[in-house]
Amino acid sequence: MTFNPDSVLSSRRRFLATGAAAFSAFSLLGADDAAAEDVGRPARDPYKHKNRRAELPKWDGKTSSESTNDSFRMFRGNLTHSFYGAGKLPDKPKLLWKFRMADFTTLKHGKRWTWQGTGWTGQTLKYGNYVFVGSTGGHFHCFEAATGKLVWYYAANRSFKGSPCLYKNRIYVPNIDNVLRCIDAATGEIVWQWRGPKDMDSSPRIVDGMLVVGGEDGSVKAFDPENGKELWRKRFGVGVGEKLGSGGIESSIAVKDGVGYFGHLDGHVRALRLKDQQLLWATKIGGDTDASPMIHDGRLFIGSQSGRDSFRCLDVATGKILWTAAINGGIWSSAAHLDGRIYVGGNNHNMYCLDEKTGKTLWAYRAGAPIWASPAVVDGKVLFGCYDEYFRMLDAKSGTLLWQHDIGGRSHSGICAMDGKIWVGSGIGWYYCFG
C-alpha cells in the first residue's frame, strides 16, 4: 500500500481504526478478541526445524537485566534506558545474513490480516554467541549471531510484539495472548508463565532480583523471576482510548534509585517507588504516552502522541517540566542520549538531535515516513528504521546520512549493535544482520 502521510493521526488507536493495512501489525489481537472471531493460531512447526541447545555462558552474577559491553539483555539496554550497544561499527555495513520469519494470517473484523516480522518494540537480545528475538508471526527465535542459523524457536498462541529481557539465562517475554512467559534461553522450553487480563507491549525488566512490567491492564506488576509468583500490583486504570486498542501502560518502565518511571494512555508520566508502591508524582505531558522514558543526569526525557510540542524534559525528582521541544505530530520513539544531546524519532518523519539542557533542535534529518523506532546511538552513529523501506545510519554530530540499506519495508523494532554487527527486524517478515 502506498504511504499516505495524512493518514497518520496523533493517536495510534484512531490511526489503526482507519484500516491502513500497511500499518496493521500494530493492531494485534489479544485474548479478548479471540472469543468473538476465529483468529487461528501461529504455525506450530513453520520451519520444519529440530530445536537444539544453545551453549550459553555462565551467568555473571548480576541481579538485574542490565546489558554489558558484550551482551544486550533488555529494551533500551539498561534500567535508565541509556545504553544502546557497544564497540566500533563499520562506516558502510554490509548484509551478512537474513532470515525469513514465519507469518501469522488470521481474520480480523471479517478481513484477512497477516502479521509479519518484528513489531513495536521488538528488541533483539544478544548473549554469548546467540541473538534472541520474537516475531508478530507468533514465534520466539534463537539464532547463531554470526551465521543466522536457527538454534531453537518457540510457538505461542498470538504475536510477540513487545520486547524481552534476559536474566540468569532465562528470557522473560510478553505476548498479546495476555501471557508473560519465562523461557529457558538454552533450550526454548517454558519455565513458567503467567496469564493476565490484557496484553503487554510494556517490556519486562529485572530490578534487584524482581521482575517489573506494565501492561494494557493499566497496572504495574512485580514478580519473582524464579517462579512467576506475583508479588504486588499497583493499578492506574486503563484510561480512555479508541477502538481498536487496549490502553493502560504500553510504555516500558525506566528505573533509577528504586523508583520506576513510565507513561500511560491518560497522558501522564508517573514516578512509582517500587519498595512500597508509593506514587511520588504524576505529570500530564499530553495524550497517550507509549514511548518509554530515558533518564540522565537527574532529568527524564519522553515524548507523547499529542500533536504539538510532543517531547518534554522533566525533573526526575519532582516531575516538573523543565522544557518542551517544538516537535509536532506525536512521538512513539523512545529517546537516546550521547554527549549532551538527545536523539528521538518523530511521527512527522524527522529524526531529531536536541540540546539536552534546552531542548533546542541542533539538527533534524527528514526520512521518507514516520519514525516509530527508537534510535540506537553507538560509535558516534545514529541507527534507526522507519515506515519507509530504508534502515539508516547517521552521523550523530551532524545528522549527515552515512549509509542506508533497502530492507523492502518498514522497521520499528529495537536495534542490537555489538561486536561490529547490527541485528534488527523488519515489519515485512525479514530479520537482518549487518556488519
Query: Which residues are bridge partners to 141 per DSSP?
Result: 133, 153
**Domain parsing of the chain, residue ranges:** 25-434
Report residue 246's pLDDT band, with 50, 70 and 90 as the boundaries.
low
Output the pLDDT for position 28: 31
Average pLDDT over residues 272-296: 97
Which of 11-15, 50-54, 133-137, 244-248 shows the lowest per-residue confidence on average (mean pLDDT)?
11-15
What is the percentage of the chain residues whose pLDDT exceeds 90? 84
Average pLDDT over residues 270-275: 99
How many of the other CB atoms lie within 10 Å of CB of 169?
Answer: 15
Per-residue pLDDT reduced to its tens digit, 309-348: 899 999 999 999 999 999 999 999 999 999 999 999 999 9
Which of 46-55, 99-108, 175-184, 411-420 shows the lowest per-residue confidence on average (mean pLDDT)?
99-108
Per-residue pLDDT reduced to its tens digit, 306-317: 878 899 999 999
Output the pLDDT for position 310: 93
Average pLDDT over residues 7-11: 37
Per-residue pLDDT reduced to its tens digit, 11-40: 343 333 333 333 333 333 333 333 224 467
Output the pLDDT for position 39: 61
Average pLDDT over residues 236-265: 86
Output the pLDDT for position 78: 99
Strand order in the sheet with 190-195: 165-167, 170-174, 179-184, 190-195
**SS3 per residue for the chain:** CCCCHHHCCCCHHHHHHCCCHHHHHHCCCCHHHHCCCCCCCCCCCCCCCCCCCCCCCCCCCCCCCCCECCEECCCCCCCCCCCCECCCCCCCCCEEEEEECCCEEEEECCEEEEECCCCCCCCCEEECCEEEEECCCCEEEEEECCCCCEEEEEECCCCCCCCCEEECCEEEEECCCCEEEEEECCCCCEEEEEECCCCCCCCCEEECCEEEECECCCEEEEECCCCCCEEEEEECCCCCCCCCCCCCECCCCEEECCEEEEECCCCEEEEEECCCCEEEEEEECCCCCCCCCEEECCEEEEECCCCCCCEEEEECCCCCEEEEECCCCCCCCCCEEECCEEEEECCCCEEEEEECCCCCEEEEEECCCCCCCCCEEECCEEEEECCCCEEEEEECCCCCEEEEEECCCCCCCCCEEECCEEEEECCCCEEEEEC
More confident residue, 419 or 4: 419
What is the spatial distance between Cα 207 and Cα 378, in angstroms, rounded to a whole number? 25
Per-residue pLDDT reduced to its tens digit, 97-115: 999 999 999 887 788 889 9
φ and ψ at residue 298, rounded to 5 degrees: 75, 10
- The domain defined by 25-434 folds into Methylamine Dehydrogenase; Chain H (2.130.10)
pLDDT at 79 exceeding the cut of 70: yes
Query: Mean pLDDT, the chain, as a whole number?
Result: 91
pTM recorded for the entire structure: 0.91
Output the pLDDT for position 392: 99
Report residue 295's pLDDT band, with 50, 70 and 90 as the boundaries.
very high
Output the pLDDT for position 19: 32
